[in-house]
Amino acid sequence: MSSSTLNVFVYGTLQPGGRFHDEFCSAYQYRASRAWTRGRLYNFPERGFPAAVEDPAQQVYGHLLSFKTTSPELLDSLDALEGYYPDRRKADNFYYRLEVDVYIEDATTPIIAWCYFMPAANIHLYRGEEVPSGRWSLPAVT
């Protein structure tokens, strides 16, 4: 990772084609690569988005977005979207942001990237349904 690159792993609505991708990502130059990280994936069909929880034994699939910027505004806008406040405990956020190892498909060397995870209590509160494949399907555009 270069000092002028910001890596973010996305697995839901921020993926290319997702409903928030253009709004939050298109103002920045980036490269998108299919990738995965450790975690367990849940879906919230009534809400139209997924969430991952930390789990070293499972995998979550999505995209590594490598932005050609270190602009704090980018992470600030993503934090606001995800309901993350750095001064709060993990459990007091809707999602929390964590640096993780991300693997581009067919690569063996990880890349460090930010990823948003949901506290386990929120999974139960909002009735998340586990996605055993670890892959969230983008809803069809109507």
Among 36, 18, 42, smallest CA distance to 105 is for 36
In a domain, 138, yes or no: no
In a domain, 141, yes or no: no
In a domain, 36, yes or no: yes
Among 63, 38, 60, smallest CA distance to 131 is for 60
Confidence of residue 123 (pLDDT cuts 50, 70, 90): very high
State the CATH number of the domain containing residue 19: 3.10.490.10
In a domain, 12, yes or no: yes
Confidence of residue 11 (pLDDT cuts 50, 70, 90): very high
In a domain, 120, yes or no: yes
Assess whether pLDDT exceeds 60 at residue 42. Answer: yes
Among 64, 46, 60, 42, smallest CA distance to 109 is for 64
Assess whether pLDDT exceeds 70 at residue 2. Answer: no
In a domain, 142, yes or no: no
pLDDT at 49: 94
Count the domains in the chain: 1
Convert 95-127 to b/e letters by CB count within 10 Å (16 or more is b). bbbbebebbbeeeeeebebbbbbbbbebbeeee
In a domain, 140, yes or no: no
In a domain, 139, yes or no: no
Task: Tell me what percent of the residues of the chain surpass a pLDDT of 90.
Answer: 85
Q: What DSSP state is assigned to residue 4?
A: T
Confidence of residue 139 (pLDDT cuts 50, 70, 90): low
Contact (Cβ atoms closer than 8 angstroms) between residue 65 and residue 32: yes
- The beta strand positions in 12-108, using DSSP E, are 30-38, 40-44, 49-53, 59-67, 96-104
Question: How far apart are alpha carbons 31 and 90 in whole angstroms?
Answer: 29
Mean pLDDT of 37-64: 96
Range of the domain at 123: 6-130
